[in-house]
Chain A
Amino acid sequence: MDSAIQFDKVSHRFGQHVIFEKLSFEIEARKITAILGKSGSGKSTLLQVINGLIRPFEGTVSLLGMPIDYENIHKVRLTIGYAVQSVGLFPHLTIFENIVLPGTLAGWQQDQKRQRANALMELVNLPAGHKGKYPYQLSGGEQQRVGLCRAILLNPPLMLLDEPFSSLDPETKDGIHTEVLKLQRTEPRCIVLVTHDHEEAMKLGDTVLNLDNGKLSPSGL
């Protein structure tokens, strides 16, 4: 298996509370891995360990075959797209500025930003007229699409999705699922999706794992 993410005996705890105990697993490149778990099962913590927001007490986390370099974590993060449930669009920036922000960090030229943003907005069905609007002027579903565009602007080999669609109504959610799958066909990448929604996990995940009490196991569903 060509692995994008590797945990080697990773342990972490908050105070006395153990989150993971010597957790080892691999996640496949260019595939969608869905991780199912109840709230409080450590799903979000797992994603934050992957992108270095949390540094575990013990063990090694490797991305694309390299142990995480915590000294240059900012550069590592540019290779990881990250989208969260509340979207986290910046209210002082327009839709266009929000989408191309990672490009600004990576030193992209204006032309390059514009081309990539246009292509992505079209891919996820966002009208071009939204570019100059502010996030508050968009619906929840549209905001999620903007979040997706921003997460994959730099075409990162890794993308982490932290329950990004849980607050959407079923119809909107369905539309976005279709677009995620379409994106994955166009630009295959390693996507880790954590969710408590079985249906979503089954629909999107090439692999579905269960997270329970800090242990990962293949889903029985």
Chain B
Amino acid sequence: MKAWLAILLLFCGPANGQVVRVGAKHFNESYILGEILAQLIESKGYVVDRKFNLGGTAVCYAALRGGDIDLYPEYTGTLSEEILKSDKKLGHAALNERLQSVLGLGISPSFGFNNTYALATTPEMAREKGLKKISDLQGINNMAAAMSYEFLKRKDGWENLKQAYRLELSPVGIEHGLAYQALTSGKIGLTDVYSTDGEIKKYNLFLLQDDLGFFPTYYAVAVYNLSLSPAIKGLVAQLEGKISEEGMQAMNSEVLFGKKSFYEVAHAFLQENGLVQSTGTTRNGRAWADIADKTWAHLGITAISLGLAILTAVPLGILLFIFSGAARPVLYFVGLLQTVPSIALLALMIPLLGIGRLPAITALFLYALLPILRNTTTGLTSVDPILRKVATGMGMTTIQRLRLVELPLALPSILAGIRTAAVITIGTATLAAFIGAGGLGEFIVTGLALNNTQLILQGAIPAALLAIVVEFLFEWLEKALIPRHLRT
């Protein structure tokens, strides 16, 4: 079968230049699998657009349905529980059939390993409380537990697990990458892990046995739109059974603790399995160029969103000042936008605009509106009414009064609003990486997934520097535009 596929591939020939978009969720294993898929496809002459860092199942799934990505690594359990919301445990063939008929999606054969959820604790804690299996947790209510946000909400996650095992713990939410640190430092006693996580070996963690068989199986597969070309489906099928649980744990561990890049680990895997020829291209020594690229991309997203916000909010603020009756409702509405958490606003953009720069810029634009809008109207309305009367009495038209008196006097307030918006935008833009918009957030999101402080700083420091540079820029602009005695 495989040989036959390979011959077919030869006849199809490499589709040079055709772009294939590969997605991945923002955690270690998904990056590695995404990178394996990407390099495998690249090795046959396709161009791969990597859309990694996508923020969770919902984002990946929406991106796939919306046609923003062509395929991404997923787990069978997640597909049946989260995507199909199925009550029954489905086998591979049944799952594939349901996905095709209901959603127009398909899955590759399993890569081989089962990465199921598991509850992890430290060996000391296990000894102290006498824990071997999950049902041993019954009756325990004085143990600090923290679960990843996704696990807390999933159908195959905490709530149903708690019911099935009749547990009394009330865990808090935690970012998965940080949970190990919390566990090993004794801040918490229990968390959810993936059974192939590289940290399990590294920290010598104790996994509680799922004695009631609650967790479905999570075999890793690639999920794709049925419209994906057969040649690529064939390529992906070559990964069938190639990755064991130990193999996956080892790859995860190499990235986490062996200081190897996803690219290198994926490349080594493909070579060892004879799936690609050695090309000798590694991406080492690109760190600085990478930082520069991402800073530039970050600046781009920020500048465009901020620029659009200025072009919208300042004229709108002037209109609200002239037609003051509308000011209250409009400011309330824009203020309401501000209260939507930034990550939620980004997620809300996906069904409307897909993933990438456009939804990120739209969300950042909406965020930047309020400070500029409010400061523009406030600045204009707080102009001394006597000056307004004198200007009118002198013979100024409404437009002349705005241009010569009100706007110049409101300028310090307007500039302060833009300055606030700029700093907010630079900070919030780091979250745009979750929906594939790139920028410095990619380092931070990847660093969080890897619990890699260096990588987090690689994103956080340039972002902080950008914010400082922007602060200085505005200070200089204020000095240039506003007489000293009127500066705020």
A residues sitting closer than 8 Å to B (CB atoms) are: 48, 51, 53, 74-78, 80, 82, 84, 86, 88, 90-92, 101-102, 104-105, 134, 136, 150
Contact = CB atoms under 8 A, between A and B. Distances in A.
Contact of B483 (A51, A101, A134): A134
Contact of A92 (B386, B389, B390, B408): B408
Contact of A77 (B386, B393, B409, B485): B393
Contacts of B405: 90
Contact of A91 (B392, B394, B400, B486): B486
A82 B393 contact: yes
B303 interface: no
B403 to A, nearest CB: 11
B19 interface: no
Interface of B: 386-387, 389-397, 400, 404-405, 408-409, 482-483, 485-486
Given A134-B483, A136-B485, A88 B396 contact: no
B393 A51 contact: yes
A88 B395 contact: no
Contacts of A105: 394-396, 400
B45 to A, nearest CB: 64
Given A101-B404, A105-B400, A92 B483 contact: yes
Contacts of B396: 74, 105
B389 A77 contact: no
Most buried by A among B393, B408, B409: B393
A170 to B, nearest CB: 25
A92 B409 contact: yes
A102 B400 CA distance: 11
Given A53-B389, A84-B390, A91 B409 contact: yes
A155 B395 CA distance: 14
B445 to A, nearest CB: 46
A112 B389 CA distance: 26
12 contacts: A75-B395, A77-B392, A78-B394, A80-B393, A82-B390, A84-B393, A88-B386, A90-B405, A90-B409, A91-B485, A104-B404, A105-B395
Contacts of B482: 92
B390 A74 contact: no
Contacts of B394: 77-78, 82, 101-102, 105, 150
Contact of B387 (A48, A53, A88): A88
B486 A92 contact: yes
Contact of B386 (A51, A78, A86): A86
Contacts of A101: 394, 404
Given A82-B390, A88-B387, A102 B408 contact: no
A90 B394 CA distance: 12
A179 B88 CA distance: 99
Given A77-B394, A82-B394, A134-B485, 6 more contacts: A75-B395, A76-B395, A90-B387, A90-B405, A101-B404, A136-B485
Contacts of B483: 92, 134
Nearest to A162: B393
B321 to A, nearest CB: 17
Q: What 3 A-B pairs come out closest when comparing CB atoms?
A: A88-B390, A77-B395, A82-B393
A104 B485 CA distance: 24
A150 B393 CA distance: 12
A76 B396 CA distance: 11
A209 B33 CA distance: 95
A92 B482 CA distance: 8
Nearest to B394: A102
B389 A88 contact: yes
B412 to A, nearest CB: 9
A86 B386 CA distance: 8
A102 B405 CA distance: 13
B481 to A, nearest CB: 10
A56 to B, nearest CB: 17
A187 B18 CA distance: 84
